Chain A
């Protein structure tokens, strides 16, 4: 199942990828090597509209999920991205070469059930030079995670 173009997604931007308050494109880069030793195949995000609540409530619920998953949120920022805007921007800037999708991801952890977990697909670590920079430039807003 893929998210439609009206949807919004949230991406955790770690403190180490932020300099002087500016979130860099490295926050949107696929890992060369995951814990399983393989390249990351999708960029983890959370579907914002999954939660039926006010924006501030949604933000705090997503951050809570990240904390439950033991993901580092100290000094991190939550980037809110419109799916349609992201897909269109990447398509335009790469002459149609990349067609990103936001697809539902299976639970990797049996203990934490996260139905809002999605992944951006349609690019690989070989494209880390281009796609993360294009995604970074169309972020709608950032929210501090603390």
Chain B
């Protein structure tokens, strides 16, 4: 059912050349395209075009785009995919909080394309609709928390005895801080 929809979406907008909607359809919607064939550049184009497209967050298209990206997780990691689908259900049930943020989901998608989870984090949405992930140690205390906020920035917190680190940085800059702190047992770069 989902594939049929995406296909229609593709046809509907493919005549628009480099229009963002066709890019989403090409990159996200093509069921034949495997994870490894999606390049970083394509994702960069997608996010850049999306930001400039000015599609309002309340637009119906926006909601459909969210689900298209959630679908892409199916081929990356089934555990994360199932969790995101569950979180999308909360969007419909819960009117207290913001719905899942497109920007946040896209940033998380890029994170998952680039990294393999060695141990799975807890994955939740905060009240802004941002995707937040947390890893815990054997005693159940937080070791690392990452909130995927707007424009590829992350808000993170690292808890290592006597050297807690908190900050907001570009995702790529956060990797170096995590490496400096010697956290290498949670996820690995592809």
Chains A and B come from one and the same complex: yes
A residues with CB within 8 A of B:
15-20, 22, 24-26, 29, 31-33, 72, 93, 128-130, 133, 136-137
Query: What are the residues of chain B within 8 A of A129 when measuring CB–CB?
Result: 145, 147, 155-157, 166-168
B residues with CB within 8 A of A:
83, 87, 90, 94, 96-98, 122-128, 132, 134, 136, 140-142, 145, 147, 155-157, 159, 164, 166-168
- The docked-state distance in angstroms from the alpha carbon of A22 to that of B83 is 14
Are A29 and B126 closer than 8 Å at their CB atoms? yes
Query: Which of B90, B122, B141 is the one whose CB lies under 8 Å from A137?
Result: B141
Are A29 and B127 closer than 8 Å at their CB atoms? yes
Are A130 and B126 closer than 8 Å at their CB atoms? no
- The docked-state distance in angstroms from the alpha carbon of A29 to that of B87 is 18
Query: Which of A15, A25, A128 is the one whose CB lies under 8 Å from B134?
Result: A25
The answer to whether A130 and B132 touch (CB under 8 A), given A16-B94, A24-B122, is no
Are A130 and B123 closer than 8 Å at their CB atoms? no
Query: Which of A16, A17, A136 is the one whose CB lies under 8 Å from B142?
Result: A136
The answer to whether A24 and B168 touch (CB under 8 A), given A136-B142, A137-B142, is no
Are A20 and B127 closer than 8 Å at their CB atoms? no
Are B157 and A24 closer than 8 Å at their CB atoms? no
Query: What are the residues of chain B within 8 A of A133 when measuring CB–CB?
Result: 134, 142, 145, 157, 159
Are A26 and B142 closer than 8 Å at their CB atoms? no
Are A20 and B122 closer than 8 Å at their CB atoms? yes
